[in-house]
Amino acid sequence: NAGVTQTPKFQVLKTGQSMTLQCAQDMNHNSMYWYRQDPGMGLRLIYYSASEGTTDKGEVPNGYNVSRLNKREFSLRLESAAPSQTSVYFCASAEPVNTEAFFGQGTRLTVV
């Protein structure tokens, strides 16, 4: 059972480069989320999607865009990477009624 799959697991970017982080879930969940985790900061919500076709900003959306391509997939795009976006990125999915969120293994992104 794959659960939530994120790609890539590691990435190094130069300042100004763009990239897309991919996330897919096979649990038929309606809600999907992107978080970033920095030392001492806990997980902070970047964007979330309550259902297919809808997306909403979270706590730290600046510098990011998202696409809810279908019910399974929710991608996060960095249009022009900055060193401040060096972080670990986690995708998660949940069924609102049950509320437990399942996380992918994370993407460790370094922007130099």
Q: Which residues bind other proteins (CB under 8 A)?
A: 31, 33, 35, 40-45, 48, 50, 56, 58, 90, 92, 94, 96, 99-101, 103-106
48 or 64: whose CB is closer to other proteins?
Answer: 48
Q: Which helix (H) or strand (E) holds 92?
A: strand 87-94
Question: How far apart are CB 30 and other proteins at their closest, in Å?
Answer: 11
Between 13 and 90, CB nearer to other proteins:
90
Q: Give 16 or 96: the residue with its C-beta nearer to other proteins.
A: 96
Backbone angles phi and psi of 60, in degrees to 5: -135, 65
Taking CA atoms, 21 is separated from 7, 40, 60, 98, 99, in Å, by 6, 23, 16, 26, 24
Least gap, CB of 1 to other proteins (angstroms): 14
- Least CB distance to other proteins at residue 80 (A): 26
Question: Residue 35's CB: how many other CB atoms inside 10 A?
Answer: 24
Rounded CA separation 110/112 (Å): 6
